[in-house]
Amino acid sequence: MIGGVEQSAQQIAIDIKQKALSLGFDLCRITSADPSARRDYYLNWLAAGQHGEMYFLQERADERLAPRVYFPPARSIVCVAMNYHVPLEQSDAPSPSRARVARYALGDDYHKHIKDRLHDLADYIRDSWPGTKTRSGVDTAPIMERELAARAGIGWQGKNSCIIHPQIGSWLFLGEVLVSLDLPPDSPATDHCGTCTRCIDACPTGAITAPYQLDARKCISYLTIEHEGEIAADLKRQMGDWLFGCDICQDVCPFNSRAPDAIDESLRPRFPGGTLDAAAVADWTLEEYHTVTRRSAMRRVSLPVFQRNARIARQNIKENNEENIEENLEGEHARESIADPNPPAAAQRV
């Protein structure tokens, strides 16, 4: 009820969506608080150990798989998304030790950024419809946010497991407000991946084991952020120049080729090129670590893990540079042979 006037559930849903957009979210859709349809798959995935060291995914599995276990009053879930795609500066200057940081971590910490707006949305819902109970969450809450987003129609879950919107792409922060209101659910998004396998083919570690299936233990994002121990030698080499996270499967997605740029200033990259000097990071002091990662999602990674990642990236960059030099020399020799089909006899004997 607003201003003493009874509203239909349909109108309430419209008002909530309009408020979400006014708060800076790019998308807002609604789904039911029904249990996950992927319960068996998720439990089997956990049983196979494919979550690696992310034990929090296992500890609250019952809540994660059933929103009403997590928040009993829930009847509907308001799903929101915010575009975080930002352009990165390209440099022509040599960068012998520049290591990459995933786009989502280049701006201010999205957890606080999204949570503040979710709380504002939840406040609006409770104030507008007294007696309504709410609970807000981002990816730190026991919520199957990607499944819910797909069910609500924010986008479909791609073969790389990311949520993809046909116009915005997959550069999306997700959030949810669980509400005790019975609201009409939106239709799920249609999967437009088709026969495309670019994300699967591009993943250097083979973490996308099949369409829509991810072995987190092989994922570069997992290895650089969640995995704190030693990394297997074969995976180290495949990590390339990634220091924190990985965007490869998103960079190659056709739906991201036309992704709009985020307009929120807090999402602007603190490193315009999206990279840090791996040699410098490997020698960071604790003070330098705190300064660079302040108010950033990168703070999730401890200094020792950052330094481990920097050493791996630096070694990979060094080896790649050496390989490129060898390839260039071989190419020059091949061109010289073509240009001079009759080399001196001494050269022929060699």
Angstrom distances, CA of residue 54 to CA of 132, 217, 275: 34, 10, 26
Pair 231, 223: CB distance under 8 Å: yes
For residue 125, the SS3 value is helix
Q: What type of residue is 301?
A: V
Nearest to 17 by CA among 76, 78, 75: 78
Could you give the residue numbers annotated as active site?
A: 139
Q: Of how many residues is the chain composed?
A: 350
For the record, the structure tokens of 126 come out as 């409770």
Pair 51, 140: CB distance under 8 Å: no
Pair 17, 177: CB distance under 8 Å: no
Q: Count of alpha carbons within 13 Å of 39, Cβ hemisphere only?
A: 9
For the record, the structure tokens of 52 come out as 């690696």
Pair 170, 253: CB distance under 8 Å: yes
> Cβ of 233: how many Cβ atoms within 10 Å?
7
Nearest to 105 by CA among 252, 292, 285: 292
How buried is residue 224: exposed, middle or buried, by Cβ count under 10 Å (0-12/13-18/19+)? buried
Nearest to 137 by CA among 189, 188, 185, 77: 77
